[in-house]
Structure 1
Amino acid sequence: MDSILFSTPDNPIPENRTEGYFEAFDGRKLRYALFRCPQPVSKGTVVILQGRNEFIEKYFETIRDLTSRGLWVATFDLRGQGGSARLLKNAMHGHVGRFFHYEQDLTAFLEKVVLPDARMPFFLLAHSTGALIALSAAPQLANRIERMVLSAPFVGLTGQGASAGAIRFLAAAACRVGLGSLTLVRNLKEKPFAENPLTSDAARYRRNMDLAARFPQLCLGPPTARWLLEAFNAIQRVSAPEHLFSITIPTLLIAPTRDGVIPYAAQEALSRYFRAAQLVPIAGAKHEIFQEKDVYRAAALAAVHAFIPGSDAEASTELVGTGI
């Protein structure tokens, strides 16, 4: 049977896995994969929630890091992107009908794949838009998820040529007149490495660009007006002190200080009312910390392994909160 995952010479598919599709609440098929550790006894399962315009293949390196520590990894492509069902006739438009659909998909994934097939305890590692989904769903996840790690959570927006307020206003106006499935810009221009806001690691940037070039069917163009409006509404909701007070899952906020997509100040502000969270700034890192240079990536992984029980880094718990 052919794999539904894709590989390149410098990004091979991890072994010892199960892959397939699960059915979302509305019948759409979402692509998933479950990776097992080489050790005979697992120390738990990390559920990875991706960012916008990401896909399982982009996390192969991080999956290997986690499974080498005795953890299983379960992940899926968000609806409308990667190898999951697209939502519009123009498959390149990044769209969602309502933000809570992402949360319903996460619930379905936990119930249909993770709970029956993975190993307890369960942890959540979420990046950017995935971290926004996790923040929104967190009050309902307390009985299932032991701990969360949120990387560069999408709680603000910068570097777009227009203010977040202006983008939200335009998105809302488009949705009011029935144009929510249209994008506010024609195309997202690929930035040269020297100007990219995602990573300072040239090799990993080229690897991800090669994935996109070889398998364009996994990629997205710009988000629709509806996606933007739903995301901004979710940001406003999860940033409210009463919502943050309601989250009881112990949480690690990994915040790159040179993030060119999500303002570091917005990530820092989130932690002020988030009683269950601890902020770990990664000085000098850009937005995609798990695609960053080894020095930044290693600092983030050290914090993750010190925070998530079951790794062999318990002796390094003093790293958490030091700002590395």
Structure 2
Amino acid sequence: MTLPDPAPFHADVADGPPGGAAHWLRTADGLRLRVTHWRPDDARGTVLLFPGRTEYAEKYGPVAETLGRDGWAVMAIDWRGQGLSDRILDDPLGGHVLQFTDYQIDVAAMLGAARRLGLPRPWHLLAHSMGGAIGLRALDGGLPVDSATFSAPMWGIRLAAGIRPFAWSLSWAARHLRLDHHYAPGTSGAPYPDADRFAANMLTHDPDRFAWMTAQVERHPELALGGPSLRWLNEALRDGRRLAMLPSPRLPCLTFLGGQDMIVDPDPIRQRMAHWPGGRLIEHPRSRHEPMMECPPIRDAVFDAIRAHLESTGAH
């Protein structure tokens, strides 16, 4: 079995364990994607990492470092339209997707690469934000993992009650008028995070981790992404409704939610986790949207819980 072609990997900004490698994949619909993996010696299994919107593999170098110390390999993907994977629009900073189910094509390509690279079993899912929406649908489709961990899963977008009808109608109209490639209201092509916006940022309270994320896209601007398109917004709203209809699989599941998260809707998370067989929800009142990138006390608690969750499901 031939291995995927090598792809660029910016180890200088990843702060991950040694030996990180990236590969190009070709999806069933013809797009070129990048996956990155870190594999410690004698790895006991593999964590399949589904990033959020705007993200890329290098952002998860510290996660791979932490999990690698416990013997877990990590594979992360750059979804279509972001990171070093093929961008959908002529404007490379516009976050866009034709339909959210297209991300399942990316998942299939990622799984194929994991098999070709011989990444050790068992496999476990770790998904953040938009990756949580992709991950829940993938689980419903039979994703071959032994457990799931979600960080602020985007099972719904947080919008004020008065804004939600406007978002639905505007994104629907733009879609049918073929204007859906334009940025959603209040967003632009400005990359996020930005060094001048820490005080108002919605990701983390940790200034050092925020500065580190900002430095990544400043040093390698090809990783950056701006705001979502109206099409992405419409698809995200539609996908939230569809996900609510899916059953929760009988799979050990751990989910984190920040009490100060202003990006995802907490209600679908609480409702689903209250009825997930074998599921557990941990809420950190002082966390913003990214518990794994928060200040050390929160971050350490999150990884202690992830470590215990992975241990409880065991390794083959």
Shift of 1:37: 1.4
Deviations 1:242-299 (A, max 9, x none): x124x22221111111112123344222323433522111231110111111111111
Structure 1 2/146 Cα, relative in aligned 2: closer, same or farther at 3 Å? closer
| Residue aligning to 1:4 | 8
Contact 1:43–1:311 under 8 Å retained in 2: no
Structure 1 272/121 Cα, relative in aligned 2: closer, same or farther at 3 Å? same
Contact 2:55–2:82 under 8 Å retained in 1: yes
| Residue aligning to 2:251 | 249
Counterpart AA for 2:65: R
Gaps of 5+ in 1: 313-324
Contact 1:71–1:311 under 8 Å retained in 2: no
Contact 1:157–1:164 under 8 Å retained in 2: no
| Residue aligning to 2:296 | 294
CA RMSD for the aligned pairs? 2.4
| Residue aligning to 2:225 | 220
| Residue aligning to 1:28 | 31
Shift of 1:193: 1.3
| Residue aligning to 1:281 | 283
Moved over 4 A (4+): 159-162, 188-191
Structure 1 163/156 Cα, relative in aligned 2: closer, same or farther at 3 Å? farther
| Residue aligning to 1:232 | 237
| Residue aligning to 1:198 | 203
Q: Secondary structure at the match of 2:257?
A: strand
Contact 1:255–1:264 under 8 Å retained in 2: yes
Q: Secondary structure at the match of 1:308?
A: helix
Contact 1:18–1:35 under 8 Å retained in 2: yes
2:134 is equivalent to residue 133 of structure 1: yes
Shift of 1:230: 1.2
Counterpart AA for 1:244: P
Q: Secondary structure at the match of 1:117?
A: coil
Structure 1 3/84 Cα, relative in aligned 2: closer, same or farther at 3 Å? closer
Structure 1 172/110 Cα, relative in aligned 2: closer, same or farther at 3 Å? same
Contact 2:49–2:74 under 8 Å retained in 1: yes
Comparing 261-270 and 286-295, the one that deviates more: 261-270
| Residue aligning to 1:271 | 273
Once the two structures are superposed, the pairs formed by residues 1-324 of structure 1 within 5 Å of their partners are 4-8=8-12, 11-38=14-41, 41-114=42-115, 116-142=117-143, 144-158=144-158, 163-185=163-185, 187=188, 190=194, 192-240=197-245, 243-245=246-248, 247-309=249-311
Structure 1: how far apart are the matches of 2:125 and 2:164?
Answer: 28
Structure 1: how far apart are the matches of 2:159 and 2:197?
Answer: 15
Shift of 1:207: 0.5
| Residue aligning to 1:320 | none
Structure 1 161/114 Cα, relative in aligned 2: closer, same or farther at 3 Å? farther
Counterpart AA for 2:264: I
Structure 1 154/175 Cα, relative in aligned 2: closer, same or farther at 3 Å? same
Structure 1 167/297 Cα, relative in aligned 2: closer, same or farther at 3 Å? same
Counterpart AA for 2:35: Y
Structure 1: how far apart are the matches of 2:137 and 2:312?
Answer: 26
Shift of 1:163: 2.5
Gaps of 5+ in 2: none
Contact 2:11–2:20 under 8 Å retained in 1: no
Structure 1: how far apart are the matches of 2:213 and 2:21?
Answer: 23
Q: Secondary structure at the match of 1:168?
A: helix
Structure 1 274/154 Cα, relative in aligned 2: closer, same or farther at 3 Å? same
Structure 1 234/161 Cα, relative in aligned 2: closer, same or farther at 3 Å? closer
Structure 2: how far apart are the matches of 1:16 and 1:3?
Answer: 14
Percent of paired sites with the same residue: 27
Deviations 1:103-145 (A, max 9, x none): 1210121023346520000001000000010111211225x11
